[in-house]
Structure 1
């Protein structure tokens, strides 16, 4: 089919086909949903039952988080294969979007474990269909226009970052301010809107993507010519190993959170836990499988594939540290960072927050206006859904701005009672809240406490209110409406003392938007760097990225140096988190965009599906490792301190970065001139 005659290329927006922006907005809403939910997941799991959380230990929450991320990088291998052989890109995208919409809807009923676990499972399955096929769809659409492809992907990935930015900001804000189901629900609403917008705009793509892609039966030889061949087919032993590795690896990944959360341990036999041995054997078998296939190729092809394996090794360590963003770094933002601002600081933050919220949305709205001018009549329903989406976005943003400027801080008093108990020869003082239903024991000591709460209600002195200790640590209290107070047993009676200066509390999820903001800001500069004569060698790019990552954690380790051993809360300056996210993003810009590019350049076509699978497997291992290492936060904090925890993530990436630098000459030789 001649794509030049395709309606996809008939209308132009910003020099590209209008249909590209249909994909842009579809991907934007999907990323909105994914990152919005991801920002809330760990915080929801570790938050107190009284505010709708599950009050999980951090170790359990981060184990589930790591498994969820790992599975997200494994299912695209299956979804991409099904699309190539049976479904076609478009059907796979729609199936994925439908399944993910159901997943988000299920997670909005987060109080029921069945719905939350089902929601996570549906999101993993849906992402497997959606994620690989959106990017490959663009490749197919631009097949005959290679000179336009780089620009198309640039625009597409701006949609990715715009969606991540908005999802984290708005889902995170609603989840933390109004309730978790609001945040999870908003993610589902925009996933549904993205699905409908894409579905009703189908004619703009013509016949492209309706049928499966024809399998490429050629392989690239060492002199870069293509020949019809069937070299290196999978042997029976290869297939047995693939099945065995898949079963053992998936069992270990899923068993990790199950063994912590419940009483299920599939890898425990005779009272002995074999989890560690199983994963070691699985990795050994995988390395053998990979090596046995690579050595069957000609020397030059073999060298190039070895280079990909080395890059995959670096990527494991990078993502194991980088993905602390949604795990241990979110916990650090929630429990250890001073997020309450008052006076001028609160006013300045509100202004900055307005600018970084409104400006990107205004730019994207302008792009939407340009798309409307070209396609509104032909694709009325699709554009109507897009318009409704942005009306909803602007409505939430305006309410968010209003709420921030109309949130007040109040000094309050409340009572607790203390009882002393002797346990193992030690006197332990326990403290309990007091409310209208409380019967204070005769031997208890009544204590009057003072604290500060934030509320958009306009209270006056001596007003009687109900509050809740969010984290059960006596440091973070929230106002409860009368309706909420009647349904929560752990509510505390309080009295308003006075209204203080206007204060705000930065949501813990807010810091996650910095990654997208910094990517949008610095990506053009890095692009210029890669195009200049100073473009680093591939191994050096990874080393630079790992160094940036380590520096980011060094800021956190330094900022947390004053937090004592075993502390569960603290008030560290937000500056350290901001600097950490800045340097982590700089590291991501060195590592993330170049990885898949090297795979496509170095691997012969007959092996590319397998090697992309290896690459995604490396990402899965890195993401699972991030949860595994993050889950050690309590143990390391108790035995040492939280600064030591972040120091580990400082030292390891820097060591791996130096290894990358030392391997640069070898990798250059293995790549045989490919850049």
Structure 2
């Protein structure tokens, strides 16, 4: 990654961005448009899949649609691990971002073309592109700061996170209006336009990134490197041909798949992959004792991150369906698109991210800043409280009533506060705890925790079935109560183990 610890030099700060390196602006706007494309498409994805065929949808049942949603969002983050590895060893972080953005753009424009084949092809392309872009752009953010700037780095990630959510706020308003009001494919096309704008901005301002992530972290002799390149190319060609063959077979009907069964199997496979990867790092990588302890902390935080995202990512699935089916969206005779409520979380992020960024710096100056495990615990508990709100709202639904959007808005407020306690802090912790030669890969592992959480979220949302709820009204509040117990329980466990985890982190807090 070529981060030598002096990347915060005078030259980088000469054209500063809110007192941070100018390169943060390049990454801020690239990620803003990439997240515009992702959250814009995500806001209408499940609604499109469950909509009737004669209205332009796929006509899938809730369980199948949410399983596909879980698989898609899982693979978006799952491929962050090989994407980080390829960037570390082959492309360099900056080129990985560029290539990933191009592939994402192609995916969204593919989904803009009506047809099952183009829809699933688009999902595959977005998954591949995001796997290249997502982990590496976050790694470069961490590389903009020196090793002695931990508080400023946390603040920088909070600003970066605000950029993510500007895109996430605008996207559902545009894609939701176009998708629900005119044509689903217009909404998908608008997401592609957003990613295209992000690519143009990135290429025009990438000079401000300097040499951070410009070259891969290669080791070995030139001959060994050349052999590695050859193996990677052969592997990518083989994987590409396999994917094309599988895609043709499935889209042509030669092979039938069960998304629910695949989702269940995938969860088990991810668990094994994570165990295998951490074992590989401990055995194959030449780590010091201190580095091994810090890798252990990343492994522990991985578990609690997965728990958090399994609840948080209900936003695009079960909470989205709740907004469409059980929420009173009538505004003076005009029916507000259900997907517009997907912008609420992003709105709260935009307004509260600067507050949290300032808060961590202020507390650090007072020597009162909570340790990373405590921040994680707060995030999980706040997430659980949000679902407690939904549990009470569901009792009104069980009684045959529609509820006001304020219930969802209050839930998203609590979820946002939880997200700000956990997500940017987690990204920053990974860049601080990882050995420099493994930053991209560790960021990829981190996104695997989000992948695991997304998969679980999709399977939980599969229980959000209108027919099943009509048959058993207690199912809805019971579903939300299960999430409350899981997330709050996870937060309490973290608080209990705060001191042992802090000890393993050493001088990193």
Q: TM-score range by the shorter chain?
A: 0.7 to 0.9
Corresponding residue number in structure 2 for 1:214:
217
Corresponding residue number in structure 1 for 2:449:
618
**2:136 corresponds to 1:133:** yes
**2:29 corresponds to 1:198:** no
Q: In 2, Cα distance between the equivalents of 1:310 and 1:627?
A: 23
**2:322 corresponds to 1:332:** yes
Offset at residue 519 of structure 1 (A): 1.2
> What secondary structure is seen at the aligned counterpart in 1 of 2:38?
helix
Question: Residue 17 and residue 589 in structure 1: after superposition, are their counterparts in 2 closer, same or farther (change >3 A)?
Answer: closer
> Which is further off, 544-553 or 133-142?
133-142
8 Å CA contact 2:23, 2:209 repeated in 1: no
1:53-132 paired onto structure 2 within 5 Å: 53-109=57-113, 111-132=114-135
Corresponding residue number in structure 2 for 1:649:
483
Offset at residue 664 of structure 1 (A): 2.0
Corresponding residue number in structure 1 for 2:496:
662
Question: Residue 671 and residue 154 in structure 1: after superposition, are their counterparts in 2 closer, same or farther (change >3 A)?
Answer: closer
> What secondary structure is seen at the aligned counterpart in 1 of 2:84?
helix
Corresponding residue number in structure 1 for 2:335:
505
1:597-608 paired onto structure 2 within 5 Å: 597-605=428-436, 608=439
**2:298 corresponds to 1:308:** yes
Offset at residue 101 of structure 1 (A): 1.1
CA displacement, residues 232-266 of structure 1 (integer Å, 9 cap, x when unaligned): xxxxxxxxxxx9xxx9xxx9xx99xx9xx997359
Name the one with the larger helix percent. Answer: 2
> What secondary structure is seen at the aligned counterpart in 2 of 1:633?
coil
> Which is further off, 166-175 or 56-65?
166-175
**2:460 corresponds to 1:629:** yes
> Which is further off, 281-290 or 532-541?
281-290
Q: In 2, Cα distance between the equivalents of 1:288 and 1:534?
A: 38
**2:271 corresponds to 1:283:** yes
Q: In 2, Cα distance between the equivalents of 1:216 and 1:184?
A: 42
**2:309 corresponds to 1:319:** yes
> What secondary structure is seen at the aligned counterpart in 2 of 1:561?
helix
**2:161 corresponds to 1:157:** yes
Corresponding residue number in structure 2 for 1:228:
none
Q: In 1, Cα distance between the equivalents of 2:481 and 2:254?
A: 31
> What secondary structure is seen at the aligned counterpart in 2 of 1:535?
coil
Which protein has the larger Cα radius of gyration, Structure 1 or Structure 2? 1
Q: In 1, Cα distance between the equivalents of 2:158 and 2:312?
A: 22
8 Å CA contact 1:6, 1:206 repeated in 2: no
Offset at residue 593 of structure 1 (A): 1.4
Q: In 2, Cα distance between the equivalents of 1:331 and 1:143?
A: 44
**2:422 corresponds to 1:591:** yes
Offset at residue 313 of structure 1 (A): 0.9
Corresponding residue number in structure 2 for 1:264:
256
Corresponding residue number in structure 1 for 2:230:
none
CA displacement, residues 606-630 of structure 1 (integer Å, 9 cap, x when unaligned): 5555543432222211111111111
Offset at residue 133 of structure 1 (A): 3.0
Question: Residue 176 and residue 133 in structure 1: after superposition, are their counterparts in 2 closer, same or farther (change >3 A)?
Answer: same
8 Å CA contact 1:315, 1:619 repeated in 2: yes
Corresponding residue number in structure 1 for 2:171:
167
Offset at residue 330 of structure 1 (A): 0.1
* TM-score, with length taken from structure 1: 0.62
**2:397 corresponds to 1:563:** yes
Structure scoring higher RCO (CA < 8 A, sep ≥ 6) equals: 2
Question: Residue 594 and residue 173 in structure 1: after superposition, are their counterparts in 2 closer, same or farther (change >3 A)?
Answer: same
Offset at residue 294 of structure 1 (A): 4.2
Corresponding residue number in structure 2 for 1:40:
44
Match of 2:372 among 524, 529, 538: 538
Question: Residue 263 and residue 649 in structure 1: after superposition, are their counterparts in 2 closer, same or farther (change >3 A)?
Answer: farther
Aligned length: 471
Match of 1:184 among 171, 188, 210: 188
8 Å CA contact 2:274, 2:445 repeated in 1: no
> What secondary structure is seen at the aligned counterpart in 1 of 2:334?
strand
Question: Residue 579 and residue 75 in structure 1: after superposition, are their counterparts in 2 closer, same or farther (change >3 A)?
Answer: same
**2:56 corresponds to 1:52:** yes
8 Å CA contact 1:88, 1:209 repeated in 2: no
Q: In 1, Cα distance between the equivalents of 2:273 and 2:200?
A: 44
Offset at residue 19 of structure 1 (A): 5.6
1:226-375 paired onto structure 2 within 5 Å: 264-265=256-257, 280=268, 283=271, 286-287=274-275, 290=278, 294=282, 300-342=290-332
> Which is further off, 129-138 or 273-282?
273-282
Offset at residue 123 of structure 1 (A): 0.5
> What secondary structure is seen at the aligned counterpart in 1 of 2:396?
coil
Q: In 2, Cα distance between the equivalents of 1:563 and 1:594?
A: 36
8 Å CA contact 1:7, 1:206 repeated in 2: no
**2:384 corresponds to 1:554:** no
Offset at residue 193 of structure 1 (A): 2.4
Q: In 1, Cα distance between the equivalents of 2:428 and 2:24?
A: 21
> Which is further off, 35-44 or 132-141?
132-141
Q: In 2, Cα distance between the equivalents of 1:183 and 1:612?
A: 31
> Which is further off, 611-620 or 46-55?
611-620
Q: In 2, Cα distance between the equivalents of 1:4 and 1:90?
A: 18
Is there any run of 5+ residues in structure 1 with no aligned partner, and where?
Answer: 218-242, 343-502
> Which is further off, 314-323 or 14-23?
14-23
